[in-house]
Structure 1
Amino acid sequence: MPDYALEAAHGGLVVGIDEVGRGPLAGPVVAAAVAFTSPPDEMLSRLLDDSKKLTAKRRMVAYDLLMQASNILIGVGAASVTEIEQINIAQACHLAMRRALDRLGRMPDLALVDGKHAPKLPCPIQMVIGGDGISLSIAAASIIAKITRDRLMARLAVRHDAYGWERNAGYGTAVHMSGLKTQGVTPHHRRGFAPIRNMIEAEAHAA
């Protein structure tokens, strides 16, 4: 379970940053930046973990508590499908992180960033591999980023209901792939990703 040790060891305002949506075939990548202005209380600390490890119910409870907390700063940023295609997914993730930090409202003394490839940020950075299972701030960021992106994909699914985005968040599930075969590629699909690129090339060749 993550704890507050990295944040406490540094002191000052420490922000945790994480992104969601690197692997899907559709939709933007979303990042969140979360900084606690004082240590999170015991109840919230027990709830926080890597968003992928949490049940949907527990993730939603944690999200609601985070959004209601008075000792927290939150910034959310995204990079669009167009930007993913222009600069590649890795750079788009870093762009979303910078935007999330810009929206935090205060410049932190340190950014704890999940992963091993450092984005360019206007503050000191400490990379933390598996950080959403180590740092409470990064875990909180992972939850906020995931809920935000899942809700965005559910809204897109209202207009594009053949792909199951409200359930698969744009990942290449059987339902999503079936929708691609019957309805084709939408403007929200990442054309640089192999399954989408191959489908477009096959359609062009058949024509």
Structure 2
Amino acid sequence: MYEYEQEAYAQGFRAVCGVDEAGRGPLAGDVYAAAVILPQGLEIPGIDDSKKLSAKKREQLYEQICAQAAACCISSATVEEIDRLNILQASMLAMRRAVAGLSICPDLALVDGNRDPAFPDGLACRTIVHGDARSGSIAAASILAKVARDRYMKALDAKYPAYAFSKHKGYGTKLHYQMLDENGVSPVHRRTFLKKWEAGR
């Protein structure tokens, strides 16, 4: 899980951050991203792709990562930005914001997936497909982004109880579409994701 980081430090990089996002697929809510710089040599037991972990384990690791990371930052892009830019560009924006918010300036970003978010200031970037299962710092970022977004969706559930956001986290489940059929679109729904549903009403 730490091979990419070790290789980068051996090549002379001084601060390597892992970057990942959460919430590209849902019909509602902001898209989140996190950036994490782990201290050289630190290996956090149990760290893995956030999708493979239970919610309880993610919460435990979230606290551990925040306590032990050399630097970390969680950011997001809004529903309005998703609808205006498209979800891919909004995800890239959230990633850039997360990296910009780090208290330590990284000189290399390891990014989950195959898209370079086009970081400013000449920050080197390496994209890693399935990086959240192959890089410790990307996995850490995936956990922070996922937990932060789940907490945000629970808060939205309290604000818009008719949509059961805490149950489906905004994803297009049968329950979610049922709630949409009954209540219509809320201010936190991604209108560009609902064109087919709206056309079929």
TM-score range, shorter chain: over 0.9
For residues 81-103 of structure 1, what are the alpha-carbon distances to aligned partners after superposition, in whole Å with 9 as ceiling and x for unaligned?
Answer: 10001110000000000000011
Confirm or deny that 1:60 pairs with 2:63: no
1:120 corresponds in structure 2 to: 118
1:18 corresponds in structure 2 to: 20
Normalising by structure 1, we get a TM-score of 0.90
Distance 1:182 1:75 in 2: 37
Measured after TM superposition, the shift of residue 202 of structure 1 is 4.6
1:105 partner amino acid:
S
In the alignment of these two chains, the number of paired residues is 195
1:141 corresponds in structure 2 to: 141
Distance 1:128 1:112 in 2: 7
CA contact (8 A) 1:31 1:93 kept: yes
- Equivalent positions of 1:1-207 (< 5 A) are 3-11=1-9, 12-41=14-43, 44=44, 46-69=45-68, 71-122=69-120, 123-193=123-193, 196-202=194-200
Distance 2:82 2:162 in 1: 23
Distance 1:202 1:50 in 2: 36
Query: Gaps spanning 5+ residues in structure 1: where?
Result: none
Distance 2:41 2:98 in 1: 21
2:76 partner amino acid:
A
Distance 2:126 2:196 in 1: 38
1:178 partner amino acid:
Q
1:9 partner amino acid:
E
1:51 partner amino acid:
S
Secondary structure at 1:140 match in 2 = helix
Distance 2:138 2:5 in 1: 10
Distance 1:162 1:189 in 2: 13
2:182 partner amino acid:
T
1:6 partner amino acid:
Y
CA contact (8 A) 1:115 1:128 kept: yes
Secondary structure at 1:185 match in 2 = coil
Q: Identity of aligned pairs, percent?
A: 44
Distance 1:8 1:202 in 2: 52
Distance 2:197 2:134 in 1: 39
CA contact (8 A) 1:33 1:74 kept: yes
Secondary structure at 1:31 match in 2 = strand
CA contact (8 A) 1:162 1:176 kept: no
Query: Gaps spanning 5+ residues in structure 2: where?
Result: none
